[in-house]
Amino acid sequence: MSQAQYPMKLTPVLKDYLWGGTKLRDSYGKKTEQAIVAESWELSCHPDGPSRIANGAYAGRTLQDYVAEHPEAIGEAGKAFEGFPLLIKLIDAKESLSVQVHPDDAYAREHEGERGKTEMWYVIEAEPGAKLIYGFRTELTKEEFRAHIEGDTLLDVVHEVPVKKGDVFFIEAGTLHSIGGGILLAEVQQSSNSTYRVYDFGRVGADGKPRELHIEKALDVTRRERPKHGTKPLARIPIADMELVLLVSCNSFAVYHASVREKAVFRVDAESFQSLTLMDGRLTLETHTGGERLELRKGDTVFLPANMGTYSLTGSGEVLLGMLP
């Protein structure tokens, strides 16, 4: 392991969108004077919110600076992507987000100049009765979709899903969706910020005007169908030291949930970097070569460069583990 290959605790960028709450600030250790923390961009090289490295030789530098100097840190799988491929967030929805949709790669590159956005959600907390929107109840034509938008009846045809802690949602580009109020979740997505709002519950922005909608683009990209994916993990992997669960695997990312009980051993090989987000508990991360040691608390995220080698997590906690497929 070289001096540039060490576990990097990240300082996130915080977003104060009007629908957000205070849980990320009050319960997940996000230090800010903002009254609202809607999103915490935990691991990001996106220009709209690059995260920074908090420890070691690259402390104070952005993660984008680091991977520009060390592209091998993304891993062999990263050669299939242009730039850093992932963005990981924590999202606290005190109120519902807009009903929205994201474009796929081809449409986004043509119209937005960046990649598209497929994402997944892991529900960390959900208040009683919390719901989200996930696709449509029945298949619609494009003309029917437009008519429901223009007639203010879109909510009559969307698919609402009650949610609880541990639910998993795979949101392919083109899937209409909205996170409902009372939900806190982790999101792993392609590194993109292209969002088309379809319906915003009549809200206004800080300027007192209705927020912009993107109806024509949404009509172009939305899959007007029932969701194809369930809300349960893909597989449970029995390991002596922990419970490891594969949540989602697709062309852009693979995401696991690990429940560490006392001590668990992991390895970062040359194929992909890993990211760790501690959703609950306290853990100590220690590398087996070099002896680097990090104390992790609820809400912390760490970037582990590709080929860093073996490391252990000691303590008790729930971890979201992200990597390239």
Residue 79 is classified by DSSP as: G
Question: Which residue's entry shows tokens 């100097």?
Answer: 69
User: How many CA atoms within 13 Å lie on the side-chain side of 47?
Assistant: 4
Which one of the listed residues 146, 197, 211, 267 is annotated catalytic? Answer: 197
Residue 91 is classified by DSSP as: E
Q: For 206-223, what is the mean pLDDT?
A: 93
The pLDDT value given to residue 1 = 53
Q: For 265-283, what is the mean pLDDT?
A: 97
76-103 pLDDT, tens digit per residue, is: 999 999 899 999 999 999 999 999 999 9
Residue 197 falls in the annotated catalytic set: yes
**pTM attached to this predicted model:** 0.95
* Share of residues in the chain with pLDDT > 90 (%): 88
Q: Strand 86-93 vs strand 13-15: parallel, antiparallel, or unpaired?
A: unpaired
Query: Residue 221 and residue 137: Cα distance in Å, rounded?
Result: 18
Q: Between the CA atoms of 61, 64, 66 and 70, what dihedral angle is there, to the nearest 10 degrees?
A: -170
Q: For 210-235, what is the mean pLDDT?
A: 89
Query: Residue 31 and residue 34: Cα distance in Å, rounded?
Result: 9
The pLDDT value given to residue 279 = 97
Question: Which residue's entry shows tokens 């194809």?
Answer: 228
Helix (H) or strand (E) holding 255: strand 254-260
